[in-house]
Homo-oligomer: A and B are copies of this chain.
Amino acid sequence: MADATAGPDLGPLLDSIAFDPAGLVPAIAQQHDTGEVLMMAWMNRESVAETLATGRACYWSRSRGRLWRKGESSGQVQRLLELRVDCDGDTLLLRVDQTGVACHTGRRSCFFRAARDGRLEIIAAPRIPPDRLYGA
């Protein structure tokens, strides 16, 4: 991991992000070249700082209550190309290069269900069997 102290002072940038009362902000991950929306996750101040310092997406796992270095168990990492902040400062857009698949189901994107005629239809198949993502 890069030494966060070696880069520019991120304080002013981090201060311009409007974290919610829980200290979190939603972050959308988008594949930089195809435009595919891969997933949405949450970040806290520490995970934004680490992501900018290392160039690898790091989120905050609300269910596990700890930093979640995307791909740490599955190998499906996200290399950061650009981090964008929206007009209100309360949502982030990460332009990434996704290794393999973003979704824990083995699909490229987490958004694999679409409303069709009032029902949810599965519109994408897994590319990797989930048990191979999180091998025994």
Q: Which residues of A pack against B, CB within 8 Å? A: 7-10, 12-13, 16, 26, 28, 30, 34-37, 39-40, 52, 82-88, 91, 93, 103-105, 107, 110-115, 117-120, 123
Contact = CB atoms under 8 A, between A and B. Distances in A.
Which 8 pairs of residues, A with B, have the shortest CB-CB distance?
A: A35-B35, A8-B118, A86-B110, A84-B111, A40-B91, A93-B111, A83-B115, A87-B110
Given A28-B37, A37-B30, A40-B26, A16 B111 contact: no
Contact of A34 (B35, B85, B110, B112): B35
Contact of A85 (B9, B103, B115): B115
Given A30-B37, A37-B28, A52 B85 contact: no
Contacts of A103: 87
B40 A86 contact: yes
A59 to B, nearest CB: 13
